[in-house]
Amino acid sequence: MKIAISCYPTYGGSGAVATELGLELAERGHEIHFISYAQPFRLDGFRERVYFHEVEMDQYPLFEHPPYSLALAVSIHEVASHYDLDLVHVHYAIPHATSAWIARQMMNGQTGPRVVTTLHGTDITLTGQHPSFHSITRFSIRRSDGLTAVSSFLRDETERSFGVEKDRIRVIPNFIDTDRYRREDKPCHRSTLAPGGEKIVMHISNFRPVKRVEDVVEVFARIRHDVPARLVMVGDGPDRPRAQQRAEVLGVEDHVVFLGKHTSVDELLACADLFLLPSESESFGLAALEAMACGVPVVASRVGGVPEVVVDGETGALLDVGDVGGMAKAAVGILGDADRWAQVSGAARRLAVERFDARKVVPIYEAFYREVLDGSVAAPHDMAGEDPVLPAGGLSLAEGSTSDEED
């Protein structure tokens, strides 16, 4: 198949998943065209059958906000026409699903490539619900020929907030290259990260309010009452200063290292002993899956799609949002008992390999594409009724809102 993939190229789970999917599909013989405003961060080196098309945008004084959605539509249209694409697969509905729909209209509808939209998280639970975006998001996802969601939680949320029937949305979980994300045969950074032989507690995110990075530090400070440990914080974002400040207030700053953004998180995870993900909201929790694949037990909030990834009591522990005491107790229970740690670590790795290995999930996407192309999938736009379902109450997109944010 000839497939275009459009996604956000910057740090974030949806861009990572979209890129890995494209690379896996190319390995399996498909021709892949990435379309975005910058090269996706995991797209490095030459790969056979892989092309990247940068969306060109003219800067003009009138454009206080350059209309990226339109420029993207033009790029999709150009690439689709030039390469005779079968399918355009967009990741994160806003604005990608809308741009893909426009591109298809430019090709007189039926003759253009089919459009598949994968819903990732806040496109449904936050940004898509804002009055400025709700109706266009609903319109665009219903005009897609195929819809997928990364968890059952997100599929249900899409039905609730956008009136798209559940059976029109295929749940295809995120996946991982378990040969790359593994504990064995990796360079060991343990002596640098924890020179005193302490346990390594890790957190990886974009440090947005939804990640509750201050809770990470709170949990860590409590862990240290019982287990000698170091906290390794990977990533960057608006709440990093708050996390640093919290570490100082709690007197653990000498035991916390902020590494900033990192592209080889597999190397870091391979020497971690515990992963913390105390998010306010999470439609899947790709970072938790990456940790599990590296045999790292995960202590996380019981929110959104996280219970579909982390099995409470088996591959880690799930606690209520904000229950820093409970999270610390669960973490100490795992870190302080070598047998229990080995059991949970092994179970985490096994689950990642059994359910989320790229070799298992990528063929599910391929089969879904075939269904979309032969018309056997029930497209969202076959649904009766177009009445807009407005979200209950006004939602704010402001940073620090109690709802969720980016991965």
The footprint of ligand GMT (CB under 6 A) covers 8, 12-15, 17, 92, 120-123, 150, 174, 210, 281-286, 404-407
Closest distance between ligand GMT and the C-beta of residue 150, in Å? 4
Count of Cβ atoms closer than 10 Å to residue 251 Cβ: 10
**Which single residue is written with the structure tokens 């150009």?**
78
Which of 113, 121 has the CB closer to ligand GMT?
121
- Residue 272 in tokens: 């971690």
Which of 8, 101 has the CB closer to ligand GMT?
8
Closest distance between ligand GMT and the C-beta of residue 14, in Å? 3
Closest distance between ligand GMT and the C-beta of residue 11, in Å? 8
Which of 86, 123 has the CB closer to ligand GMT?
123
Please give the torsion angle defined by the CA atoms of residues 96, 99, 104 and 108, in that order, rounded to the nearest 10 degrees.
170
Which of 112, 121 has the CB closer to ligand GMT?
121
Which of 117, 255 has the CB closer to ligand GMT?
117
Quote the CA–CA distance of 162 and 361 in Å, as a whole number. 26
Closest distance between ligand GMT and the C-beta of residue 100, in Å? 17
Closest distance between ligand GMT and the C-beta of residue 367, in Å? 20
- Residue 396 in tokens: 């704010």
Which of 332, 358 has the CB closer to ligand GMT?
358
Cis peptide before 66 (omega within 30 of 0): no
Please give the torsion angle defined by the CA atoms of residues 99, 104, 109 and 115, in that order, rounded to the nearest 10 degrees.
-80
Which of 306, 327 has the CB closer to ligand GMT?
306
CB distance 263 to 252 below 8 Å: no
Which of 8, 162 has the CB closer to ligand GMT?
8
Closest distance between ligand GMT and the C-beta of residue 21, in Å? 11
- In terms of DSSP H, where are the helices of 144-284? 152-162, 190-193, 213-226, 240-249, 265-269
CB distance 242 to 213 below 8 Å: yes
Closest distance between ligand GMT and the C-beta of residue 398, in Å? 15
Closest distance between ligand GMT and the C-beta of residue 162, in Å? 15
Exposed, middle or buried: residue 244 (CB in 10 Å: 0-12, 13-18, 19+)?
A: middle
Minimal CA–CA distance to 117: which of 140, 89, 143? 89
Quote the CA–CA distance of 130 and 141 in Å, as a whole number. 15
CB distance 200 to 225 below 8 Å: no
Please give the torsion angle defined by the CA atoms of residues 348, 199, 259 and 263, in that order, rounded to the nearest 10 degrees.
-30
CB distance 70 to 97 below 8 Å: no
Closest distance between ligand GMT and the C-beta of residue 340, in Å? 27
Report CA 150 to chain centroid distance, whole Å: 9
Exposed, middle or buried: residue 398 (CB in 10 Å: 0-12, 13-18, 19+)?
A: exposed
Closest distance between ligand GMT and the C-beta of residue 190, in Å? 27
Closest distance between ligand GMT and the C-beta of residue 121, in Å? 3
Quote the CA–CA distance of 43 and 35 in Å, as a whole number. 12
CA distances to 286, 315, 326, 328, 367 from 155, rounded to whole Å, are 17, 24, 29, 31, 19
Quote the CA–CA distance of 187 and 267 in Å, as a whole number. 7
Which of 31, 123 has the CB closer to ligand GMT?
123
Which of 343, 403 has the CB closer to ligand GMT?
403
Which of 123, 218 has the CB closer to ligand GMT?
123
